[in-house]
Amino acid sequence: DTGVSQNPRHKITKRGQNVTFRCDPISEHNRLYWYRQTLGQGPEFLTYFQNEAQLEKSRLLSDRFSAERPKGSFSTLEIQRTEQGDSAMYLCASSGPGLQETQYFGPGTRLLVL
């Protein structure tokens, strides 16, 4: 078990471009979470999956954002038509089936939109 992995670790893009991030959870974990952290702030919840079902989405997740977990394993987070305000660290976490279980975080993907 190598923990939660995220790719890429860093992404620089121009405003208006689309970007996609990937998260590979710990293999036996069926819950997967996405959080966003802007400079000087604590992370904020974006969305989470139980297996392949997306169970909750924050209002922070505008129409330009979409997340998928097609086979209940890895997940992707896509941002369309990026804006400078999307610049942030995107963190992924996974956990076992219970709501009270510890979430294990990946190293994050840092996005910079120029």
Partner 1 sequence: KQEVTQIPAALSVPEGENLVLNCSFTDSAIYNLQWFRQDPGKGLTSLLLIQSSQREQTSGRLNASLDKSSGRSTLYIAASQPGDSATYLCVVNSLGGGKLIFGQGTELSVKP
Q: Which residues bind partner 1 (CB under 8 A)?
A: 31, 33, 35, 40-45, 48, 56, 91, 93, 99-100, 102-108, 110
CB of 90 to partner 1, least distance (A): 11
The SS3 assignment for 49 reads: strand
Rounded to an integer, what distance in angstroms lies between the CA atom of residue 97 and that of residue 40? 31
CB of 33 to partner 1, least distance (A): 7
> Residue 25 or 43: which CB sits closer to partner 1?
43
CB of 61 to partner 1, least distance (A): 12
The SS3 assignment for 101 reads: coil
The residues, ordered by sequence, that sit 6+ positions from 95 with a Cβ below 8 Å of its Cβ are 29, 31, 33, 101, 102, 103, 104
